[in-house]
Amino acid sequence: MIYRRCERCDCRHNPDEPCAGWKCPKCGSRDLAVTVKKWAVLRQRAYDDFWTTTGEIDGNSDDWDGESLMRCLRCKCTAKADEFETKPRE
């Protein structure tokens, strides 16, 4: 497999594959974090003794979309994920 630096996304990948989907609109970094929606089980012992756990619910996934907040881990730019999304190569 031949990997070369893509002129559009500045990453190395197979030229027949699309560019990665998200990068920081401010600095161009692909080191990102995204907020997710996830179900959690509420555990309770007493009024002020409670906690949540995840992973115990069937079909639980990390749901997010273009409206979810995304943050660049390098420059701390924060915006909706839609603003971080790159367009597919033509």
Can you give the pLDDT at residue 24? 93
Nearest in space to 89 (alpha carbons), one of 34, 29, 27, 20: 20
Can you give the pLDDT at residue 90? 44
Q: What is the pLDDT of residues 44-71, one digit of tens each?
A: 988 888 888 877 677 667 788 899 999 9
pLDDT surpasses 90 at 79 = yes
Residues 74 and 26 sit within 8 Å (Cβ to Cβ): no
Residue 53 lies in a domain: yes
Residue 31 lies in a domain: yes
What CA–CA distance (Å, rounded) separates 20 from 30? Answer: 9
Number of domains forming the structure of the chain:
1
Domain region containing 31: 23-84
Residue 39 lies in a domain: yes
Residue 2 lies in a domain: no
Q: What is the pTM of this model?
A: 0.64
pLDDT surpasses 50 at 12 = yes
Q: What is the pLDDT of residues 29-39, one digit of tens each?
A: 989 999 988 88
Residues 34 and 68 sit within 8 Å (Cβ to Cβ): yes
